[in-house]
Amino acid sequence: MDAKGKLKVMFLPFPGQGHLIPMSDMARAFSGRGVRATIVTTPLNVPAIRGTIGKGSDLDSDSEIEIVSIKFPCAEAGLPEGCENTESVPSPDFVPAFFKATSMLQPQLEHLLLQHSPHCLIASAFYPWASHSAATFNIPRLVFYGTGVFALCASECLRLYQPHNNLSSDSDLFVIPHLPGNIQMTRMMLPDYAKTDGETKFSELLKAIKESEVASLGVIVNSFYELEQVYADYYEKLQGRRAWYIGPLSLCNQQQDKGKRGKEASVDEGDILKWMDSKKANTVVYVCFGSIANFSESQLREIAKGLEDSGQDFIWVVRRSDKEWLPEGFERRTEGRGMIIWGWAPQLLILNHRAVGAFVTHCGWNSTLEAVSAGVPMVTWPVSAEQFYNEKLVTEILEIGVPVGVKKWARIVGDSVGSEALEKALKRIMVGEEAETIRNRAHKLSEMARTAVECNGSSSCYLTDLIQHLQSIARLQNCPKSSV
Ligand code: UDP
């Protein structure tokens, strides 16, 4: 029991940067409202979370966030030792073992629920058993998908209406039934788990996720209502579930915190700021494909050629350390106008610099929303997960990006895109009248995002409403553990 009678919320993020980072930001947002936040994770993910929350610039001493670690059962699940994060999964063959390991965390979590007696559990959707655990302790569970609500609606409409089942070829276009916006896709763009006939391990997991959502109090979405209004309303109608739009969560970071999210950056903050300061506004292209997507050497060479031929200045994040695959003389020829970050970039810091004029992105939801918040137009290059839906939102609904032309969903390793396609998309997003129109739209959305998280903005009000709701549940249950 909290001696001060504060609301206590436990956060259980899925061990991938796409969940760890926004849920750390979320814990900060709750903590900033006087909630006692505890984040549960595995030992190797503690530094990443500590890095993201440990700055304390906007937190007073009263609002510390506790991090508690539990063991990740690598050996028991058939994973190499130390594979505690989606980034360290050695190959797609190990993905099922990774999910198996996450499914084995329930007893440890329940032990913590008993020890800490929180008033609410906020858990990533990939832990369907979390609703049951919360119910056992008579507390509400909230689901965090880590995606926007457009993607939730699109995948739900596909699951319910299966429009992709009666097509003559994988490249035939079909409209997603009942989804507002006349969104067209092909079978090739769909995740393999969405189109396999019959039950697979992953489709079983998805079914369990849906059932656990039904048993939950509702969904927390890292987005803001105005960004996806039509789909937020549609989701509530479609699912009949409550959702709280409390993002963009990354906006809780002050300038000095922006370089320290997820992992330690592989580049000195001062060096990169100095380099960007030397550039004119909107002249640099930032290229980064998140924490999981992997490209072949031939694909990387095409990217290098596309960047070089486009004539644009660039910062390119490459998640490897060897250089042999780089085209002969590339670094010499692009010296001064291009920078490669080998490893992890301070993405939020870069996106928010005035020099950045476009973002070539894999459309991971966090990256997408960070670009929206910073007012940066996008070249969309989706790879896997729900990224093809996010591409549709960016290019067709919000109209703040242009597609590079990826045709096929791939697990981890990306589709092949030629250098000319990248060069063409870069010119389209960086120069000319269309680029100007897109940039203006992106700036307007950025202002809307900032307004949403300010006092009386929609996200701020949603957060107030959620906290009050949780407090009243805690009071109604007459929990001896609180006087909230
Ligand atoms: N990120 C970063 N530096 C990098 C790569 C990624 O800070 O070099 C952050 C990025 O800002 C975002 C998260 O990692 O917050 C990636 O999440 P996203 O949903 O975009 O993609 P995922 O990694 O889950 O595919």
**pLDDT score at 61:** 44
The rounded Å distance from CA 302 to ligand 1 centre is 22
The rounded Å distance from CA 348 to ligand 1 centre is 9
pLDDT in tens, 103-148: 999 999 999 999 999 999 999 999 999 999 999 999 999 999 999 9
pLDDT in tens, 239-250: 888 999 999 999
**pLDDT score at 5:** 76
Q: How far apart are alpha carbons 16 and 42 in whole angstroms?
A: 11
CA–CA distance from 160 to each of 104, 157, 178, 216, 436 (Å)?
29, 5, 10, 20, 39
One-letter identity of residue 151: A
The rounded Å distance from CA 291 to ligand 1 centre is 5
Who lines ligand 1 at CB under 6 A?
16-18, 21, 261-262, 288, 290-292, 317, 344-345, 347-348, 364-367, 370
**pLDDT score at 3:** 60
Tokens of 193: 């788990």
The rounded Å distance from CA 267 to ligand 1 centre is 16
Residues 34-53 have a mean pLDDT of 94
Picking from 446, 302, 286, the residue whose alpha carbon sits closest to that of residue 355 is 286
Tokens of 33: 């409202």
One-letter identity of residue 70: I
Half-sphere exposure of 428 (CA within 13 A, CB side): 16
**pLDDT score at 24:** 96
Tokens of 265: 């950056």
To test the pocket of ligand 1, the residue of 222, 356, 363, 367 to mutate (highest count of ligand atoms within 8 Å of its CB) is 367
Q: What sign does the CA torsion over 125, 149, 47, 362 have?
A: positive
**pLDDT score at 59:** 43
Q: Average pLDDT, whole number, for the chain? A: 93
The rounded Å distance from CA 292 to ligand 1 centre is 8
**pLDDT score at 225:** 98
pLDDT in tens, 61-75: 445 899 999 999 999
pLDDT confidence of 209, banded at 50, 70, 90?
very high
One-letter identity of residue 240: G
The rounded Å distance from CA 7 to ligand 1 centre is 30
Which residue minimizes the CA distance to atom 17 of ligand 1?
A: 18
Which is higher by pLDDT, 484 or 410? Answer: 410
Which residue minimizes the CA distance to atom 15 of ligand 1?
A: 366
The rounded Å distance from CA 248 to ligand 1 centre is 14
User: Is residue 178 pLDDT above 80, yes or no?
Assistant: yes
**pLDDT score at 197:** 63
Q: How far apart are alpha carbons 24 and 11 in whole angstroms?
A: 9
Atom number of ligand 1 nearest to Cα 367 = 20
Atom number of ligand 1 nearest to Cα 345 = 8
Share of the chain above pLDDT 90, in %: 84
**pLDDT score at 62:** 46
Residues 44-55 have a mean pLDDT of 87
Q: How far apart are alpha carbons 381 and 403 in whole angstroms?
A: 7
pTM for this structure?
Answer: 0.96
